[in-house]
Structure 1
């Protein structure tokens, strides 16, 4: 028999409580890539690749919270579910979202525990409810695409036979769209903070969180919708007093004039600059827009930084000093400079 494996390096709880926290928002497409069918093996391989980037942050002293999307997964689950409604009772969309929290939370935690086992107390996925306003007008305006792509004839058939709202998605085909209210606050914020302080990587707010609203009796009730995970990640980052919010996506950096001869990558912009580009229509509502908007909201408080980049560039994008470009990196959104006092 060979030597016993070394014991994991358990983090000191006091050090974890004092360390800076980064919240990473992973798109559902980070686990099912464009050229993949979405098998469990494919999703786990993608989760392992993501875990390597998380390990780099942990080794540099960051606490990490992961918020993941579920657009492809919850849409696929809805198709599986509706195909069997003659055999089992129908479930609402928010319950399907809760099911994907368990599915993807397990997958991500297994990958994190495999890759980061020497650096962390463990990885924990926490079922997360996120409060929304029952009067949010977005609840009557389906805009959030979920599930696979269909051609026009398939989309028309699904709309007629299942009552789905279908919309074209960036010229790639048609997808089902569902309501997507703005998140207000994560219900389990205190539990997430406690786990961070104990040295755990926390997977929270899966699929943007399970949307709930207060009823007349003060109790929370599920809402049939899917919350955008970037906006949910910003609310979670704010609630746990994180110092960094990173939207992890498939492009290395934000692009101005995307798809034109003038296309240009942005390495850093202030909140005001980002807000101006957003108003100018540089960032489409269905793709880069929510990421930039969430980043702006997060850095409105001082001492914070936000970034948009690929998994491989997360660490370099976060940890380089402001204004310094030492190699490939993504886009940072930083607070506006504080005006100098005139004596």
Structure 2
């Protein structure tokens, strides 16, 4: 039936108004009936004060009709009741809930309430990320323990392949970056110390800075941008394509197949990359001091051995495995958290890099405090 929407308003004995809706209150059949109902109730509400609805005569009713009826009821706290079918009641409740949620979303957008709401959501997100990270480390330790009890479960081929991609392929950028960092430290150090007649101490400055801090720190930062993002993107793409779910269906533990090879590769290659970074940084400092200060390479190396020693080298190398664990874990965890769309993938890759960089700085600061307490 295609009966157009209509309504009738009649006064009742108790000084209220009875409104009966008939016809098809749908997006195609309503026409201007919704606007006429709003105008009629606005005029009648001033005189009567109470309205009673009879919706039993409705033939078809959709969200457009529900929205028109709710607009007519806006601002009225004197509605006596709605005589309607259960499906009409359900549709009215659904549209009313959608309108209420939209109003709340707009209200949250500004003012002090909006600011406090954003801060609260941020704190809750940080706590959630911390809890999920601890849970991830627990699963990682459990998988590592199973592999140690049964070494045949170690996936040698992917681990070696990842060592090449995450380690050997990163050697050129790590060496080049640390060469220029060491050269920059030497140049600035000799320029500053020359004002006090102590430019010879620029050798110690380069040695301590490169061996203790810059060698391992610059390497970890490069790996955070290179490997953490790569791990998150690779595992995230597999999660989007439901390959991880397929692994679980076939009885393959994703931690053993995806996380542990990356963990082993980075744990094995980060100390090697750190060692190369230290050599490159020292070589860059040696070149600058040789050309700018005039100290020979033999004098540079001998002064390093006498005044810097191997203790600074060990301090830098001790940090490498811890930073490798952090970078690999963050990258893999963010990859496993990817949902089903590309936007989630991009967001998780970005979070992997940001969290890895933040964690590297925090861990390095913690090591600095620990070594300071031990007088190193």
Alignment TM-score, normalising by the size of structure 2: 0.25
Alignment TM-score, normalising by the size of structure 1: 0.27
Higher-strand-fraction structure: 1
Quick one: higher RCO (CA 8 Å, sep 6+), 1 or 2? 1
Higher-helix-fraction structure: 2
Q: Which of 1 and 2 has greater Rg?
A: 2
